[in-house]
Amino acid sequence: MTQDDTALGTALRQWRDRTSPQDAGLPAGGVRRAPGLRREELALLAGLSVDYVVRLERGRATSPSPQVLSALSRALRLSEAERDHLFVLGGQAPPSAGQVSQHVPPSVQRLLDQLQDTPLSVHDAAWNLISWNPLWAALVGDPSSWRGRERNIAWRHFTHLASRVTHTPEQQASFETALVSDLRTSTARYPRDRPLRSLIADLRREDARFDELWRSHTVGFHTTDSKTIHHPALGPVTVDCDTLTVPGSDLRIAVCSAPGTATAEQFALLKTIGIQTISAAAIDPTHSS
């Protein structure tokens, strides 16, 4: 065990102890020996295994990836300075000002935690999926198993990965134009970000539609994006999706809202069934076999 490994574990335990379940958007959950997060709760929030969190805290896991450190930073509600310190302790270079950041300010995270009745997801300037709430996962499908570029919205769309979402031709044209225009703006803002440049190059090579939009320099912007989500239990769910930005940050927050009473009722049912896959017969009392 190295000194840095010990320091990493100590810092993680201290940050975990100071973060209450309420701060992290979790229920307190009965009698607790300490006010902070349990290891199981930190693992859940960061999308990691409990065993891996234990090994990190005890100095048995070395060289955690930037993705792991970013996830821990968000789960622990770290400030930018604390996030950078965590990266140093983990043996990684802190994200530089010239690179796309996945940092979610604690104040923004607290706001997101209060919107549990609204499906939402958070993305960086390259449209990598950073985090989501349970209702979003229940609606569009649990993304916890997605890895690498599977978590990039542009990559998923233009390489035709499996999706529950469909658009009309007009909606799709508007969505694609806005997405490519947004990525072009990000490449101008972050010219030294290698993963972003690599993403653009690979998308241009993989998909003719993306390359056409990229070469045309067509300008678009995100308006309310109406779409249909085909849920395996609820059937078609029609939503309006707005992309919100955070002042002083390049985060994109995609918020799905119910355009009518029928969708609002589907949202309420979605909270009950969560991400489990059940048949329509199981939720429809009028259905008979």
Q: What is the pLDDT of residues 5-14, one digit of tens each?
A: 579 999 999 9
Do residues 234 and 165 share a domain? yes
Q: Is residue 75 part of a domain?
A: yes
Do residues 177 and 139 share a domain? yes
Q: Is 123 exposed, middle or buried (0-12, 13-18, 19+ CB in 10 A)?
A: buried
Q: Which residue has the tokens 């090994």?
A: 55
Q: Is 31 exposed, middle or buried (0-12, 13-18, 19+ CB in 10 A)?
A: exposed
Above 50 in pLDDT, residue 56?
A: yes
Per the CB < 8 A criterion, the answer to whether 12 and 57 are in contact is yes
Higher pLDDT, 280 or 66: 66
Q: Is residue 186 part of a domain?
A: yes
Average pLDDT of the chain is 86
Do residues 66 and 111 share a domain? no
pLDDT recorded at residue 163? 94
Enclosing domain of residue 169: 106-282
Higher pLDDT, 64 or 27: 64
Do residues 46 and 170 share a domain? no
Per the CB < 8 A criterion, the answer to whether 288 and 271 are in contact is no
Q: Is residue 145 part of a domain?
A: yes
In tens, the pLDDT along 178-200 reads 999 999 999 988 888 999 999 99
Mean pLDDT of all residues in 219-246: 88
Instruction: Measure the CA–CA gap between 51 and 34, rounded to whole angstroms.
Output: 20
Query: Which CATH number does the domain housing residue 58 bear?
Result: 1.10.260.40
Do residues 208 and 114 share a domain? yes
Three-state SS at 255: strand
Q: Which residues of 97-109 are buried (b: 16+ CB within 10 A; e: fewer)?
A: eebbbbbbbbeeb
* Token reading at 180: 């490519």
Q: Which of 55, 89, 123 is the last residue of a domain?
A: 89
pLDDT recorded at residue 103? 85
The torsion region of residue 110 among left (phi > 0), alpha (psi -120 to 50) and beta comes to alpha
Mean pLDDT of all residues in 49-63: 89
Instruction: Measure the CA–CA gap between 131 and 46, rounded to whole angstroms.
Output: 9
Do residues 48 and 175 share a domain? no
Which range of 47-56, 153-162, 268-277 scores highest in mean pLDDT? It is 153-162
Q: Which of 59, 89, 119 is the last residue of a domain?
A: 89
In tens, the pLDDT along 196-232 reads 999 999 999 999 999 999 999 887 777 788 899 999 9
Specify the amino acid at residue 83: R
Above 90 in pLDDT, residue 246?
A: no
Dihedral angle at the C-alpha atoms of 80, 84, 86, 89, nearest 10 degrees?
Answer: -160
In tens, the pLDDT along 105-134 reads 888 888 888 888 899 999 999 999 998 999
Do residues 138 and 249 share a domain? yes
pLDDT recorded at residue 201? 97
Question: How much of the chain, in percent, has pLDDT values that exceed 90?
Answer: 54
pLDDT recorded at residue 17? 92
In tens, the pLDDT along 63-113 reads 898 889 988 998 899 988 899 899 989 988 887 767 888 888 888 888 888
Q: Is residue 289 part of a domain?
A: no
Task: Please report which confidence band the pLDDT of residue 237 belongs to, taking 50, 70 and 90 as the band edges.
Answer: very high
pLDDT recorded at residue 258? 92
Task: Kindly report the pTM of this predicted structure.
Answer: 0.73
Per the CB < 8 A criterion, the answer to whether 217 and 161 are in contact is no
Do residues 256 and 187 share a domain? yes
Q: Is residue 288 part of a domain?
A: no
CB atoms within 10 A of CB 158: 22
pLDDT recorded at residue 23? 78
Q: Is residue 112 part of a domain?
A: yes
Q: Is residue 30 part of a domain?
A: yes
Higher pLDDT, 30 or 197: 197
Q: Which of 39, 60, 89 is the last residue of a domain?
A: 89
Do residues 254 and 127 share a domain? yes
pLDDT recorded at residue 271? 87
Q: Is residue 97 part of a domain?
A: no
Query: Which CATH number does the domain housing residue 181 bear?
Result: 3.30.450.180
Give the count of domains, the chain.
2
Length of the chain: 289
pLDDT recorded at residue 92? 87
Three-state SS at 73: helix
* Token reading at 176: 């694609």
Instruction: Measure the CA–CA gap between 249 and 68, rounded to whole angstroms.
Output: 21
